[in-house]
Amino acid sequence: MVGQTKPARPIPAEALYDAVKAAGVTDIVAVPDTHVRSLIKLMRERDEMRFIQTATEDEAITLAAGLVVGGRRPLVQIQHAGLFACVNHLRGVAIEGQFPMLFMIGLLNRDPEKAPRDNFDSMVRHTEPLLDVFDVPYYLLDGPEDVGNIEVAMQQALDRNGPVAVLIGDQTA
């Protein structure tokens, strides 16, 4: 185990759902993702938070920004590959536009025994460094005990008028 003290463990979808709700999220703007499919299933089944699917991550960011203009509090739910795909919108909309925006990013294929930066998979390995380049704060959720950081991250996004991310370390249960 390199660079981390304990392996990542699956977080039950129900625990993540409750934490997202507790953060005051009104809308989930999402691109389909294997890593958190149990969470997406819950979100789609319940109507407490509106679930909006987009074709691309670029659209998820702009749509979420529009929701913020209308007074809503969205969560952008994407995968690491999607983060790489939407870098210019992250920069041009979320950061330069100064939108409070919480991202949930699934680290698909992450080796749970290793820190994300030490993973073989380049999508996992480069996620945190990419967020660092843009000074986007992030929280790694490596087990059920970490879900409280979703509310912390949302508050930080609101305070800084910019993006903050939570990274889902292992596939949700």
Task: Give me the residues that bind another protein (CB under 8 A), please.
Answer: 27, 50, 52-56, 58-59, 61-72, 74, 88-89, 92-93, 96-99
CB of 80: closest distance to another protein in angstroms? 20
- For another protein, which is the closer residue by CB, 24 or 66? 66
- For another protein, which is the closer residue by CB, 3 or 71? 71
CB of 36: closest distance to another protein in angstroms? 20
CA distances from 43 to 17, 20, 137 (A): 7, 10, 25
AA letter at 76: V
What's the CA gap between 155 and 158, in Å, rounded? 5
- For another protein, which is the closer residue by CB, 45 or 69? 69
Q: Is 102 exposed, middle or buried (0-12, 13-18, 19+ CB in 10 A)?
A: buried
What's the CA gap between 117 and 127, in Å, rounded? 8
CB of 60: closest distance to another protein in angstroms? 8
- For another protein, which is the closer residue by CB, 32 or 148? 32
